[in-house]
Amino acid sequence: MSIGSTIDGSRRLRLPLVAILTAVLALFGSAAIANALFTTTATATVTVAVPTPIAPRPAIVSCVNNNFGILQVRARFTWTAPAGTTAELKEYVIRAKDSAGVVTELARPLKTTTTVDFQAGVVGGLFSGLLALIAGGAQPLITINAVFGAYESPSAFTYRLSSAGLLGLTGVGCTLVPA
Amino acid sequence: MTRRRNVAIRTGVVLVWLLAALAGAGIARAAWADSEPISRQRLTTGRVGLTANGSATAAIGPITITPSFAGPVTQHFPVTIANVGNVGLTYQLDNITAAAPTNALFTTGLTVRVSKVTGSAACTGTNPGTTIIAAGSALPTATFALRPPLPPAGSEFLCFSLTIPLATNALFREGSVALTLHFHGQSL
């Protein structure tokens, strides 16, 4: 009796186990083994930097004494547009910096402009006040820069204006300031 | 009378015993069985492995993209994907993420193109190789699906091309960002 119970007990244990294994194999079979997927990962980290854009400066800036006599004292600035970038050129900006370091924006010429006169005298001009300062012995620094969107060249040409002798007779002196 | 009764009792006991025995065995054997022959299976070990530029966690760069007022600027960098396991695998680019805090350079300031090239040295010029991710794609959504299988020791050369817009474009952004390319491989 005890032997029979052991056999029956073993069968009772084995039958469900066999049934489960059969079901698992029937469900997945050999295909499951062939399709077992194993995964892996890899990463690559890259640091990307975009520095501040450096706008090109106007090319060949010159400043010449263009004095027409006592009534037409003027200095003429001439430049050419930065090569190859005129499509994005917005305008120019002219600034003066006095001996105290105070910077004053004098004008924003159109992008088509390539000449500006610092003129004083009877006719007067945009910068007559500046020339009056020069007559008083001041030597302001003048920069002419190109403007691209929100950016300007960090290395625009700078000229020092000064009185070339008796203002009105010998005109305005222009000196390029080394960068 | 007594003898007949004894015989009847004995016969009843035997019947009860037989019924009990058969009933127990019968229930135990009441089962439905089926069989299906399966071919002999061989279980072998395998190893899957994927590297980018020779490492599971590669570091590339840094890369500097110098902005221009003449037009958009593109900078390339090659990534070699290699199967370093001993089973075939295929892989995909899950996504590209940026180290927090995410900035506008990542979300809109940079666009990406990904291509397959013949070698790292071919990752240069204008639109090199065969396109996998089209030029102008935004980084946060850049991804590609499973690539053709790579055999063990096989590799594929990718070229990532990052582009910044014209410096006067409204989408232009300065700054820096750390990008992580997430590749996901799976065995065949």
Q: What is the pLDDT of residues A127-153, one digit of tens each?
A: 666 666 677 777 888 899 999 999 999
Name the residue of chain B whose CA is nearest to A16's CA. B31
Closest CA to B164 of B148, B176, B156: B176
Closest CB to A45 among B25, B178, B184:
B178
A40-49, B30-39, B58-67, B101-110, range with the lowest pLDDT:
B30-39
In B, which residues are within 8 Å of A149 by CB distance?
69, 167-168
A65-74, B121-130, B159-168, range with the lowest pLDDT:
A65-74
Name the residue of chain B whose CA is nearest to A42's CA. B56
Name the residue of chain A whose CA is nearest to B84's CA. A40
Q: Is A88 within 8 Å of B167 when comparing Cβ atoms?
A: yes
Cα–Cα distance measured from residue A10 to residue A17, given in angstroms and rounded to the nearest whole number = 11
pLDDT tens for A22-78 read: 554 444 444 445 557 899 999 999 999 999 999 999 987 888 776 665 555 567 889
Closest CA to A149 of B183, B38, B172: B172
DSSP string covering B139-178: GGG--B-PPSPB-TT-EEEEEEEEEE--TTSTT---EEEE
Closest CB to A30 among B31, B39, B173:
B39
- How confident is the model at residue A119, as a pLDDT? 66
pLDDT tens for A72-116 read: 556 788 999 887 767 889 999 999 888 888 888 888 889 888 888
- Is the whole model's pTM more than 0.90, yes or no? no
Residue B27 scores a pLDDT above 60: no
Greater pLDDT, B44 or A122: B44
Q: Is B60 within 8 Å of A46 when comparing Cβ atoms?
A: yes
In A, which residues are within 8 Å of B182 by CB distance?
41, 43
**Confidence check on the interface: ipTM exceeds 0.85, yes or no:** no
B158 touches chain A (CB under 8 A): no
Read off the pLDDT of each residue in B142-161 and give the average, rounded to a whole number: 97
Tell me the H-state helices in B30-134.
104
**Cβ within 8 Å of A, B 79-138:** 79, 81, 85, 87, 89, 105, 109-110
